[in-house]
């Protein structure tokens, strides 16, 4: 049973690409929005943001290019580990981590929780082992290569979940936490759906970057260009974005959250 959801701010990046992502000025402002669940099976993280070692050894962990261009705010308090402590909880009680995908700004905190089982689509983990130029930019395998406990989930079609499908073979939380494949941004990108009574929270990772995209009438050419450049398969990404737009328009019991939109994060708590 899920008792409580906490919204964590686990990283800030300000690259010089604001016009491309429908923001004002030159420098964009991205955050790493993660979730912490209090459950009967211990604490559960949904994505991890950047981790302690990413802040202590930024250039070595993330590479010189990302160090120069990412404009990452160096702040140890912006880690899931520190924020769990600030909530009066014990980071050692994190038993499970569900990751939407293994991009560096989503998986950096895995190494801070060596006792946790990481749940990820097998196709996503496999992509981290095939390091093309684009993959070397997005995946920083030092963040998780020594982690011991994994649950690699095959992207098999399961039962319908509204107009999407959940993966089969994930009974751990009795259908209160589901993985919903949202392929396209990366090879094994997944949403994570969390049940709250009769409602759902759907954490969409990087399936979209701005709440404005959930309105199909919005014309966001720069943002769509930016997302297409990052995408593993842009056609699949666009198809899943349409499905998310349908959910946003027709299923008010589902609350959609992406990983980097400041305005979405501010619905739940102010930036610290």
The pLDDT value given to residue 272: 62
The CATH number that applies at residue 217 is 3.60.15.10
Whole-model pTM: value is 0.95
Mean pLDDT by 10 residues, the chain (272 residues): 94 77 77 96 97 94 84 92 97 98 98 98 95 88 96 85 89 90 97 94 97 93 91 97 97 97 91 67
SS3 223: helix
Element (H, E) at 81: helix 80-86
| 232 DSSP 8-state letter | S
The pLDDT value given to residue 29: 83
Expressed as residue numbers, the domain containing 57 is 2-266
Q: Residue 243 domain-assigned?
A: yes
Q: Residue 159 domain-assigned?
A: yes
d(CA 77, CA 11): 9
The pLDDT value given to residue 168: 79
Q: What is the DSSP string of 193-212?
A: EEEETTEEEEE-TTS-S-GG
Radius of gyration of the chain (CA): 17
SS3 55: helix
Q: Residue 7 domain-assigned?
A: yes
Q: Residue 271 domain-assigned?
A: no
Q: Residue 272 domain-assigned?
A: no
* Number of folded domains that form the chain: 1
* Contact status, residue 79 vs residue 52, Cβ threshold 8 Å: yes
* Contact status, residue 79 vs residue 53, Cβ threshold 8 Å: no
Q: Residue 210 domain-assigned?
A: yes
């Amino acid at each position: 049973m899920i008792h409580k959801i906490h919204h964590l701010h686990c990283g800030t990046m300000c690259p010089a690409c604001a016009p491309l992502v429908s923001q004002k000025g030159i420098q964009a402002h991205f955050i790493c929005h993660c979730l912490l669940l209090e459950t009967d099976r211990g604490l559960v993280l949904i994505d991890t943001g950047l981790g302690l070692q990413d802040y202590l050894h930024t250039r070595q962990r993330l590479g010189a290019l990302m160090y120069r261009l990412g404009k990452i705010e160096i702040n140890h308090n912006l880690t899931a580990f520190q924020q769990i402590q600030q909530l009066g909880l014990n980071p050692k009680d994190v038993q499970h981590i569900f990751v939407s995908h293994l991009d560096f700004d989503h998986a950096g905190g895995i190494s801070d929780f060596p006792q946790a089982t990481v749940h990820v689509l097998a196709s996503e983990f496999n992509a981290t082992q095939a390091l093309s130029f684009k993959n070397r930019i997005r995946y920083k395998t030092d963040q998780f290569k020594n982690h011991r406990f994994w649950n690699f989930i095959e992207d098999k079609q399961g039962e319908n979940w509204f107009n999407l499908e959940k993966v089969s073979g994930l009974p751990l939380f009795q259908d209160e936490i589901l993985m919903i494949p949202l392929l396209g941004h990366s090879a094994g990108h997944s949403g994570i759906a969390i049940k709250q009574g009769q409602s759902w929270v759907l954490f969409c990772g990087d399936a979209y970057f701005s709440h404005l995209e959930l309105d199909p009438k919005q014309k966001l050419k720069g943002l769509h260009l930016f997302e297409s450049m990052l995408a593993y398969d842009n056609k699949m990404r666009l198809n899943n974005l349409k499905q998310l737009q349908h959910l946003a328009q027709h299923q008010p019991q589902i609350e959609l959250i992406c990983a980097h939109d400041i305005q979405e994060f501010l619905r739940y708590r102010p930036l610290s």
